[in-house]
A and B are shown apart, each in its own frame.
Chain A
Amino acid sequence: MSDFDRTAEYAIHHSEEAGKKMRKTIWLIFWVLLVVTGVEVTLGLIWKDMGLAWSFVKWTFIILTLVKAYYIVAYYMHLKHEYKNFIYAVALPYIVLIAYLIVMMLTEAMYIHEEADILM
């Protein structure tokens, strides 16, 4: 191992006791992900029969997806247990740029959509 990459110094070790607790969290998150996915699929199948508005259903899907993403990144990828500065370094550039891109693209798409209707 090179002097530069001191992985051994950073490697995380924990006891049997702590492991038990971690496994409990892992399975808890699994149930959260499973239930949220189940709700999404059920909603996808029955929203028309229930007479729900599509925009409500759509936003429910998006919010539930973000909930799932949070749990995967925070607990399965252990980002929550990293240094705060590192969390910011990873999450902030992504969130800011993507939010910007989404707003730009969707505004333009809707404009072009209407424009095309006028031209046709």
Chain B
Amino acid sequence: MAGHTAPIDSKKLWGGGISPFNASYGKIMMWFFLVSDAFTFSGLLISYGYMRHRFEDVWPVAEDVFTHFPFLHGDHPLLYVALMTFILIMSSVTMVLAVEAGQRMNKKGVTLWMALTIVGGLIFVGSQAWEWYHFIHGTELGALQLADGTIAQWASAAKDALVLPGGAEITGAEAAAMIQSGTEVYGANLTVNEYGVPLFGDFFFFITGFHGTHVFSGVVLNFIIFVNVLKGTYEKRGHYEMVEKVGLYWHFVDLVWVFVFTFFYLI
């Protein structure tokens, strides 16, 4: 144990007579749970990378897909998701401030910062619902799914010419034949995606959905701990380590979003 040669206080020993890593059982287990959860998310993101490389030519550019911003018209690529990222980082700050207040046994501080963290989490979940709504509904124009399953975009609002993935434009009789045999599609679900390959939609729903579930359960956990703080449970116990443990979970959720943001929206 480099740098930690001081003998361990005998009061700290666990039931087995040792004190692994000089930390409490709950905290260590929370860390190991987070490592396993990180493996799950990594699995999802790496398989996303795999498919993306495999279908490089027909993969949609996220910048062209997520361009909406509430109450604003026109294209605003990245802005909304940047705002979501900011909200989540902010709620991470309020969480770590709650942990810090707990270490000073400052009940008022913990209450305030925990409340703000819960509000931030709810705003984030709401934003994600909004993003899903727009992805599922798609654009007004939609796109054309050709007979072989390829998605072609309309060249103009007149819907008489097509742009194939890769940029080739098709007009006239050839386009008319394709339109005849194809189907118009709007928005995205698990089988159809107007922006390109359906796999993009599948990964979007699975990864952001799995992350959203984590945010939501994080909000629930935070709320339970928040009620305990109000009831004075930790005041009586003499320490606020529970706040620290849910804090670890909450920061992990933020951490995952940092990666989802990069690999889904930026790259």
Q: Report how many A-B pairs have Cβ atoms within 8 Å.
A: 172
**Binding site secondary structure of chain A:** helix
Most B CB contacts (10 A, CB to CB) among A44, A64, A113 go to: A44
Cβ 8 A contact of A94, one of B38, B77, B86: B38
**Bound form: Cα–Cα A41–B1 in Å:** 42
Q: Is the CB of A40 within 8 A of B266?
A: yes
| CB of A93 within 8 Å of the partner chain | yes
| CB of B262 within 8 Å of the partner chain | yes
Tell me which residues across on chain B come within 8 A of A90, comparing CB atoms.
31-32, 35
Q: Is the CB of A10 within 8 A of B27?
A: yes
Q: Is the CB of B21 within 8 A of A44?
A: no
Interface string of B75-105 (1 = CB under 8 A from A): 0011100100110010011011100110111
| CB of B239 within 8 Å of the partner chain | yes
Q: A101-B46, A112-B54 are in contact. Are A72 and B23 (CB under 8 A)?
A: no
| CB of A53 within 8 Å of the partner chain | no
Q: Is the CB of A10 within 8 A of B1?
A: no
| CB of B237 within 8 Å of the partner chain | yes
Q: Which chain A residues in 16-62 approach chain B with CB under 8 Å?
A: 16, 19, 22-23, 26-27, 30, 33-34, 37, 40-41, 44-45, 58, 61-62
Q: Is the CB of B21 within 8 A of A4?
A: no
The smallest C-beta distance from B53 to any residue of chain A, in angstroms, reads 4
Q: Which residue of B lies closest to A75 (CB)?
A: B96
Q: Which residue of B lies closest to A73 (CB)?
A: B255
**Bound form: Cα–Cα A41–B103 in Å:** 35
Q: Is the CB of A105 within 8 A of B255?
A: no
Q: Is the CB of A3 within 8 A of B15?
A: yes
Q: A77-B252, A97-B39 are in contact. Are A85 and B104 (CB under 8 A)?
A: no
Number of B residues whose C-beta is below 8 Å from A? 72
Q: Is the CB of B237 within 8 A of A8?
A: yes
| CB of B140 within 8 Å of the partner chain | no
| CB of B11 within 8 Å of the partner chain | yes
Q: Which chain B residues in 233-267 approach chain A with CB under 8 Å?
A: 237-241, 244, 247-248, 251-252, 254-255, 258-259, 261-262, 265-267
Tell me which residues across on chain A come within 8 A of B240, comparing CB atoms.
11
Tell me which residues across on chain B come within 8 A of A58, comparing CB atoms.
267
Q: A45-B78, A94-B35, A105-B49 are in contact. Are A8 and B266 (CB under 8 A)?
A: no
A contact set with B: CB distance below 8 Å: 1, 3-16, 19, 22-23, 26-27, 30, 33-34, 37, 40-41, 44-45, 58, 61-62, 64-65, 68-69, 72-73, 76-77, 82-86, 89-90, 93-94, 97-98, 101-102, 105-106, 108-110, 112-113, 116
Across chains A and B, which 7 residue pairs bring their CB atoms closest together, nearest first?
A: A11-B239, A109-B53, A86-B21, A10-B24, A4-B15, A65-B262, A109-B50
Give me 7 other A-B pairs in contact (C-beta within 8 A), A41-B82, A68-B258 excluded: A9-B12, A11-B238, A40-B261, A40-B262, A58-B267, A65-B262, A94-B35
